[in-house]
Amino acid sequence: MAIELECPDCSRKYRLKDGRAGKRFRCKVCAAVIAVPAAGEIFTHEERSSGFTLAIGDVETIKRLTAHIEQHIGPIEMVFHEIVSDLVHLDIHWIKATAARPFHVLVTTGMSDRPMTTPPGAADYAYAELAIALPETWPMDQSEWENPANYWPVGWLTRLARFPHEYSTWLAVSHTVPNGDPPEPFDESTDLCGWLIGPPFFLDGGIPPCAVDELKTVRFYGLIPLYREEMELKIAHGIDALLERFEQQRVPLEVLDPRRPNVCRKVRGR
């Protein structure tokens, strides 16, 4: 699959062969140095070829993860269960907003029922679960999730949790997953169109790994929605450049905001 990217300085678009992954080149228009993302840093994919595979959750693992979530985040208000599951049985655990922590947290269990397909040297990162923080005003009644503007973060939480198992890949810190190629907004209510996998910024110190047994340690990653220009900056210059831009403009990453400022939006006339 070809690599498509844009010069962060002049917006010149390029379509490169896979062999250019991880390398650098100069823009033909403005001479800026562009870093091509290494394999695994951004994920686009073909349609899945395998059929439906019924999955049943691992009861013991769920018990251990549930206790871990409550210990490090807070009491679980409700669990949203899948009725029929493909590849892994995914549940979403809702930790309700409180006065001390004024945002909701949603955490998956079930993603770690199967190991992800990790590259050599990354076997310790084969098991993971995902989490996202939503504003305390976010509609949390399932009847309100019938509105796509309220449901898209929830839907993507489960979609990304199943993603590594559907496409024999893995997710880890600094990986980027766009909504299509080219990326499209998640919903009419927002221009956000891709995800950055990162630590759970909404908790000081994140969520520590959970040792399910001697052979299985589950790590917890946070989901950070991005605009297209932010993904392009990260692809061209790396995760540190993007995080620095967030810090410079004092845009928080902790809690999802569908209308937050775009830290890479170009100013007209420049």
Each domain of the chain, given as residue ranges in start order, spans 3-35, 59-248
Q: Which residues of 183-198 are buried (b: 16+ CB within 10 A; e: fewer)?
A: bebbbeebbbbbbbbb
Q: Phi/psi at 216 (nearest 5 deg)? A: -135, 115
How many Å is the Cα radius of gyration of the chain? 19
Collapse the DSSP code of 249 into the 3-class scheme (helix H, G, I; strand E, B; otherwise coil) and give the result.
coil
Which pLDDT score, from 0 to 100, does residue 270 have? 38
How many angstroms from the chain centroid is the CA of residue 37?
Answer: 17
pTM of the model as a whole: 0.80
Which pLDDT score, from 0 to 100, does residue 28 have? 74
Locate 244 and state its tokens: 């620095």
Nearest Cα to Cα of residue 26 among 9, 42, 38, 39: 9
DSSP secondary structure, 10-40, as one string = T--EEEE-GGGTT-EEE-TTT--EEEPPPTT
Which pLDDT score, from 0 to 100, does residue 27 have? 73
Helix 239-248 to helix 228-237 angle (10° resolution) is: 130
Which pLDDT score, from 0 to 100, does residue 17 have? 67
| Residuewise pLDDT in 10s, the chain (270 residues) | 456 666 666 667 777 765 666 667 777 766 666 766 655 555 555 555 566 665 666 788 889 999 999 999 999 999 998 876 667 889 999 999 999 999 999 999 999 999 999 998 899 999 999 999 999 999 999 999 999 999 999 999 999 999 999 889 999 999 999 999 889 999 999 999 999 999 998 888 889 999 998 889 999 999 999 999 999 999 888 899 999 999 999 999 999 999 999 999 764 333
